[in-house]
Amino acid sequence: MAVVSGGVVYGLTALARVSLLLLRLLEGQADIQKYLVPHLQPPSTTAFQQTSSEITSQYDEAAKLLQELQEQTTRLQTTLDGDRYVSISSLSLSRGERGRKRKREREES
């Protein structure tokens, strides 16, 4: 409920700001060049290049982290496969030892 009411208050505040700006523009109190023109102009080339380079560096960092995660996953899978093989080998070895022990007990009786 708080999120909804917060969204409504934010929307009403933004609407009030725009309404006041439009009223000032209509009354001639605000300068169009000062308020509207900067928002209508495209960003400068340097700002665009800076934003583009920041996004590219973040993408490269994410790709590097993904590669590291894949390598760790591969190593972990290899380790688990090796442990599984050792576990299965020791399980069958212990079964074999139990069988031999039973066989010896039968022979002794």
pLDDT digits (tens, 9 = 90+) for 92-103: 556 666 666 677
Mean pLDDT along residues 58-85: 89
| 19-30 pLDDT per residue, tens | 877 777 777 655
The residues spanned by each domain of the chain are 1-40, 65-109
Beta carbons of 18 and 27 less than 8 angstroms apart: no
Q: Is 25 exposed, middle or buried (CB count within 10 Å of its CB: 0-12, 13-18, 19+)?
A: middle
Mean pLDDT of the chain: 79
Alpha-carbon distances, residue 64 vs 51, 57, 102 (angstroms): 20, 10, 57
pLDDT(8) > 90: no
CA distance 86 to 90: 6
Whether pTM > 0.85 for this model: the answer is: no
